Structure 1
Amino acid sequence: MAIPTVRNRLQSFCRDHKGAAAVEFALIAGPLVFLICACIELALVILLSVSLDNATDVASRQIRTGIATTGNTSLTVFKQKVCDKMGWLSGSCMSSLKIDVTTYNNFSEIPTTDLIKDGEFDESKFNFNIGGASKIQLVRAYYEWPLFTPFLNAGLTTLSNQDAVITSKVVFRNEPF
């Protein structure tokens, strides 16, 4: 009589699907949460990139039109103008932003490489040189952004501390002011 009871219980257990969804969710919960976090962080990186591009372009207009040459525009003042246009990051902008403004005589002289060497910014290469009328300018803005999602830095330029570097570059010829 004991054998039919064990058989009945085994059959009953095999037919019972209570808790199957909880087990399945437990198996996919980790990757699902990771993907959601990665999507949110990637959206923030894209938002930062668009904001930095816009802010760099708007602040560079003062160099292009000659307004920056008439006042006492320094690197700090220019950085503040870029940060003012990135309102949602105003708290950490000044400490995370690096600016390079360089003058060239012709477009073929403009370098295509970034100012990052061995996972660090090459501080000796940074300039703040507002050129004169009709000079060619390269304005580069670099923003350090800490990443929280593992493996997201594989597709981004990163520093040795694993912070992503969001870059914006603007090249233009100054107006004949």
Structure 2
Amino acid sequence: MGSVSNNSGASGRPRAGLLSRFRRDARGSVAIEFSMLILPFALLTFAILESCISFAGKQVLANAADDVARQFRTGQLRAPATPQEKEELKEEIVAQICGRLEIIVTKGCPGLKIDLRHFDSFPEAAKLGFTISSGEISLTDNGKTDSKGFDIDPGPTMSKNMLRIFYEWPVITDFMSKYMAKLNGGKTLHFATMTWQNEPY
């Protein structure tokens, strides 16, 4: 009976020692903790970077709108007299805006849309707006769908004008797209506008 008791005690001590050593062994803890933290840390890092780049894109768009508006206001750019001049003016505006955006967007600025109008008064310009419906941008005039669509139609000297620039900005970080993306293709809208009266050039 005594030998049975000793064997039981002897067999119990190794088990206790094994569990104790397992609790003290921390050689794999760093790897486990790293694998648990790396994914949320990486997602947070990408989200911060994307938000910063997106904000920079908005600032570039706003600066481009201000620069183009100034050129019209001072007469450096003027209302076209023929359909050919209108097309050339549109290409010039797109080239100026896209030239700035291309440092942070795809070459050719896919998703860039421009609307430039002239008005008899500022209250008339204030009636224009836009909506996002079914993932698409729609222009409105006094709350109704604007049949003109996106157009380049600046006015002559002393006229009131409004420039609106739209850019469909892609959202890369997947978990942010459901919060930011309002347009088709997982994109969000960047928008800049300027309203002014041309000088007497």
Asked if TM exceeds 0.5, the reply is yes
1: CA distance, partners of 2:182 / 2:67: 26
1:44 aligns with 2:59: no
Instruction: Label 1:69 to 1:170 Cα distance change in 2 as closer, same or farther (>3 A).
Output: same
- Aligned-partner residue type, residue 114 of structure 2: I
1: CA distance, partners of 2:131 / 2:163: 12
Pairing partner for 2:160 from 107, 119, 136: 136
TM-aligned CA deviation for residue 154 of structure 1? 4.6
2: CA distance, partners of 1:107 / 1:135: 10
Question: 1:113 is matched with which residue?
Answer: 129
Q: Which runs of 4+ in 1 moved over 4 A?
A: none
Unpaired runs of 5+ residues, structure 2, are 1-9, 140-146
2: CA distance, partners of 1:175 / 1:117: 37
1: CA distance, partners of 2:20 / 2:11: 14
1: CA distance, partners of 2:35 / 2:118: 58
Q: How does 1:79-94 map onto structure 2 within 5 Å?
A: 79-89=94-104, 92-94=107-109
Q: 2:69·2:163 contact (CA, 8 Å) conserved in 1?
A: yes
Pairing partner for 1:102 from 117, 127, 134: 117
Unpaired runs of 5+ residues, structure 1, are none
Aligned length: 177
Q: Tell me how large the CA RMSD over aligned residues is.
A: 2.3
Which entry has the higher C-alpha Rg, 1 or 2?
2
Q: 2:111·2:167 contact (CA, 8 Å) conserved in 1?
A: yes
Q: Which moved more, 1:113-122 or 1:139-148?
A: 113-122
Question: 2:27 is matched with which residue?
Answer: 18
Identity score, percent: 25
Q: 1:115·1:126 contact (CA, 8 Å) conserved in 2?
A: no
TM-score by length of 2: 0.77
2: CA distance, partners of 1:173 / 1:14: 77
- Residue 113 of structure 1 aligns to a residue whose secondary structure is strand
TM-score by length of 1: 0.87
Instruction: Label 1:92 to 1:117 Cα distance change in 2 as closer, same or farther (>3 A).
Output: farther
TM-aligned CA deviation for residue 90 of structure 1? 7.2
2: CA distance, partners of 1:147 / 1:50: 17
Q: 2:162·2:193 contact (CA, 8 Å) conserved in 1?
A: yes
